[in-house]
Structure 1
Amino acid sequence: MSELKQLLAIAEAVAAEAGAALAANRAKWSVIAAEIGREVKIDADKHAEALILAAISKASDYPIISEEAGWVRAQQRGDRFVWAVDPLDGSVNYLREYPHCAVSIALLDNGAPVIGVVDCFVLSERFTGAVGEGAWLNGKPIRVSDIADPAGGILQTGVPSRASAESMQLFEERLSTWRKVRMIGSAATALAYVAAGRAEAYRESGSMIWDVAAGCALVKAAGGEYRIEGTALDQPLEVSAGNAKAPLPL
């Protein structure tokens, strides 16, 4: 077994444990802890992150970045490999019992996502992948779609979190380019759907690396491509991904 597959096994086991805990404790953990603009933090974020960080730290010495843990250790040590964790992507969906929410765990190699696990625990779908090794849904291989024309494809996106007149104009242009547009409220899940061939592309502004790293790794592992742009990985990013046949959305 390759080193990447061994690390993927760690990520999958931890994601499965966290997903099971989130499913079992939904009623108790669905308590709003903070609201910042459109962003909502709930108790589930904190509990799931504590579980994930403890479990990964037992199995691996690589530093971990996440919304709560931040970048301090990773920046101080300068490690080649860094775990990127979003313990609950789609907190509002979880709170409102909307099924599109997920545990997202990725491994970065000098900033590039190379391992991804997206555990959509409500729907019992676990997407796993390692670049150069393959991608799977519940253990069965998945590949990106073959649709090349955006007019016949599906775009996964979201309203820009830091919307400006320019970003909204680009957003409107995307809506008219693709046959269908889906906004499901979970970047990790949306990217996993591109990896599985359920959609052709993904585009969003203002994402943090832990929001999208696992999904981008999945897309690449499943034969697609991604683009991550920004001033630094610890700042909001411009992220696009696709099946390497349809053009990446601007």
Structure 2
Amino acid sequence: MTELGRLLPLAVQAVERASLVMRHRPAGTLTAKGDRDLASQVDFQIERDLRLFLRDETPEIGFLGEEEGVSGSGELQWALDPVDGTVNFVRGLPLCAISLGLIRGRRPVLGVIDLPFLDRRYTAAEGHGAQANGQPIKVSDTASLTEAIVAIGDYAVGPDATSRNRSRLALTALLAAAAQRVRMTGSAALDLAWLAEGKFDAALTLSNHPWDMTAGVVIAREAGAVILDQDGSAHSSDSMATIAATPLLADQVLQLVNLAESAPARSRQARGRNPTD
């Protein structure tokens, strides 16, 4: 058995523990994380439990959690978002996930995403394909944006949100004019899992936090998606953005992302131009 083949069942076992907590515990105390961002008591409970569980089972592997950071070290590192879509979870919306991935160097190589309230679990290990509830999955064969359902990541909150949202709003406008439909679920893990399963045709997030993206990147990639940084290079944990799409859509959506990134600069130039010039 390969190393990843050995670690995947362990990751599934860890996520099963977390899923039980999400399904049966109330959100509990909410902790503010800055402007319009929060973590629930369940976020902390899941992260602390899985950090200890995986430390005991794989002491040679480091751990990165969204809420409490890094512990341990090694060539491999677990990356966990204990509740991806916390605001949805707190409000009783079922579009939330547990996302546990494994990074080797800077490359995601294993992932498990569980949707506790939708009875769906996605798994993948590099070179072994992707599954949903144990059945193989693959991306759609959609080739045209006019036939594509495109998921876009949340708008920014916190410091400099207004500036960072200019390109996000510009991308939304471009997609509204070109795609069949645009969707914002509030969970990057869910977006990538649904891309892998063919429910979405692209999933675009203009950021790249390892706890958000690691598991979903592996699952979507193993299902046949192309996943790029916004400059067109191969995606890694160091990428600035996560641009994921079916192979025939990747160039089209990347072009829109780059148009959106340049739109704020063009707008500023236009406002600064003398109208009599």
Compute the TM-score of the two structures, normalised by the length of structure 1. 0.90
* Structure 1 gaps, min length 5: none
1:84 to 2:79 alignment: yes
Superposed CA RMSD: 2.0
Residue 94 (str. 1) matches residue 76 (str. 2): no
User: What is the aligned length?
Assistant: 242
What does the per-residue CA deviation read over 1:30-56, in whole Å, with 9 as the maximum and x for residues that have no partner? 331224212111111100101111111
Aligned to 1:197: 198
Q: Find the residue that maps to 2:48 and give its secondary structure.
A: helix
Equivalent-residue separation in structure 2 for 1:174 and 1:17 (angstroms):
38
Q: Aligned pair 1:111/2:112, yes or no? A: no
User: Could you list the runs of 4 or more consecutive aligned residues of structure 1 that deviate by over 6 angstroms after TM superposition?
Assistant: 233-236
Partners of 1:19 and 1:207 in 2: CA distance? 24
Aligned to 1:67: 66
Task: Give the C-alpha shift of residue 24 in structure 1.
Answer: 1.0
Evaluate the alpha carbon distance shift between residue 143 and residue 235 of structure 1 in structure 2; reply closer, same or farther with a 3 A threshold: closer
CA contact (8 A) 1:116 1:129 kept: yes
Q: Quick one: distance in 2 between partners of 1:181 and 1:9?
A: 35
How far residue 175 of structure 1 moved from its aligned partner, in angstroms, is 2.7
Residues 59-93 of structure 1, C-alpha deviations (whole Å, 9 max, x = no match):
1120011222324644xxxx321111111101011
Larger radius of gyration: 2
Shift in Å at residue 2 of structure 1? 2.1
Helix, strand or coil at the partner of 1:127: strand
Equivalent residues in 2 for 1:34-45, closer than 5 Å: 34-45=32-43
Selected match of 2:50 from 47, 52, 57: 52
**Secondary structure of the equivalent of 1:36?**
coil
Q: Is 1:206 aligned with 2:207?
A: yes
Tell me the equivalent position of 2:242. 239
Q: SS at the partner of 1:119?
A: strand
Q: Which region of structure 1 is more displaced relative to structure 2, 97-106 or 173-182?
A: 173-182
Post-superposition CA distance 1:211-245 (Å, at most 9, x none): 11110110111111212469xx8889311111222
Pair 1:224-2:225 in alignment: yes
Inter-partner Cα distance in structure 2 for 1:114 and 1:48: 22
Q: Which residue of 1 aligns with 2:264?
A: none
**Where do 5+ consecutive residues of structure 2 fail to align?**
258-277
* Cα shift readout 1:168-220 (whole Å, capped 9, x = no counterpart): 22332123221111111111011000011111111012341111111011011
Indicate the percent of aligned positions where both proteins have the same amino acid. 29
1:153-172 equivalence runs, <5 A? 153-161=148-156, 162=161, 163-172=164-173
The partner residue of 2:138 within 143, 151, 154 is 143
Q: So what's the TM-score if we normalise by structure 2?
A: 0.81
**Equivalent residue for 1:120?**
115
